[in-house]
Amino acid sequence: MANNTLVLSSMRRASLIKELNAFISITRLQDVPPSSSKDRLNGFTVAVKDNFCTSDFKTTCASQMLSDYNPGYDASIVEKLKNEGAILFGKTNLDEFAMGSGTVDSLHGPTKNIWGSPLHYTVGGKERTSKPSWRIAGGSSGGSAVAVASGTCRIGIGSDTGGSTRNPASYCGVVGFKPTYSSVSRHGLIPLVNSMDVPGIITRTVDDAALTYNVISGQDPKDSTTVEVSPVKLDDSFNLNKIKVGIPREYHCEGLSPEVLEAWKSIARILQEAGAKVSQMSMPHTSSSIACYSVLNQCEVASNMARYDGLRYGHRSSRCKSTHDLYASSRSEGLGIVVRGRILAGNFFLLQRNYSKYFEKAMKVRRLICDDFKRAWDEFDVLLTPTTLSDAPELKQFGRLDNREQCVMNDYCTQPANMSGCPAISIPVALSKNELPLSLQLMSNNYDEETLLSVARIIEKYVSFPHLELMD
């Protein structure tokens, strides 16, 4: 199919889901490149989170601070996608500077989940019976997840610092994959937390996630943290007979819904019956992970956001009589309350009198969490956990929580993988009584994406999750 035809189809779908507010900007038909059957991603439409730099679109980070920012270049992974024939269809909504877990704190307004919405769709060819209600899409890569879940795009690109790819994938019933830290270039990704940020992949299938990973992964001279990695090969002959699956007790946490718990038990049984050795194990420092992550996140945010002062980068206020006024007014006008709050907290933790009490202690706890994972990989090939604690919360209910409460609820199961740097994937496995997706997470040792994706592919095959189909 010609690229123009594919883009027209995506444009039609984008118009149908306009009320969901997934896209910040969309390509023009005259800018669509010609197709080439030699390219690995020929004809794949891609939705890119609006914190990745792009030469064809503004990159706003959903913030007034960067509302007019034109980078003039493509992030390394965007360049790689284009070079393999992918069509950059549009830039997607996010929490401002990716600081959130619901895609509700954006300059452009919240993104809504297509699942549960009043839009006309079927699931597995069947009409839904539940009453429509607006649900969160998850975040902070909610726009990319909705773009894929609605069938508007084949691939969604997000960033993942504490679960920002896996979380919305879980709520939107699609695959969300965070590769190993350093296996994919961060060049052109506007940083949140440099030591944890990883470009993430959102697709409908594990096969598409693997294909995309093989395109975007590998060493990049523009990102000194990257290393060369082997391509993932998914083989139909792969079996679970030698695979050891760990079930961490600590992920059976407060707030875990009975439906997610039952799905977790069910998939563990399926893996065991398919030949895997499944057993419970312990990750003792998991409960400290959220507090540790919060401190480290805010410290790096304070450092990274210092550049946005109206002089070097970003929105410049016209209401200033001095340099001090310029800084203060530009930042108060250009940055939302969540971002300003994290900057203040981070600067507090980094004060000389507080540095050892907060930042250094958090770094030590992070090391203990990493050691938990290292010990796990001595015994297990993969860990199986929930991704999110429930199906997608209602938008109004979620909005009553402050940003920290939202992240504590949504990031508990996902952010430990960012602390350790290991790869992780979220896979939809069942529907809740509300006819919404329930998902589970797999994690594996660093750079063992092949095992991770192979096991995920087997789960995908067994559950045959009924994907949503948008109707005209």
Catalytic residue among 140, 144, 159, 420, which? Answer: 140
Q: How far apart are CA 440 and CA 390, in angstroms?
A: 11
Strands 382-386 and 155-160: unpaired
Name the token pair of 285.
Answer: 């420092």
Catalytic residue among 10, 101, 159, 164, which? Answer: 164
- Tokens 């000389």 locate to 352
Name the token pair of 197.
Answer: 């940020």
140 is catalytic: yes
Residue 442's H or E segment, with its range, is strand 437-444
67 is catalytic: no
Render 118-161 in DSSP notation, one character per residue: SS-EEETTEE--SPP--BB--SSSHHHHHHHHTTS-SEEEEEES
Catalytic residue among 49, 82, 91, 178, which? Answer: 49
Contacts of 204 (CB under 8 A, 6+ apart): 148, 154, 174, 175, 467
Please, how many CA atoms are within 13 Å of residue 419, restricted to the half-sphere of its CB? 31
15 is catalytic: no
R_g of the chain computed on alpha carbons: 21
Sheet holding 155-160, edge to edge: 23-26, 87-92, 45-49, 155-160, 198-203, 175-178, 424-431, 437-444, 382-386, 244-248, 277-281
* Residue 448 identity: D
Instruction: List the catalytic residues.
Output: 49, 140, 164
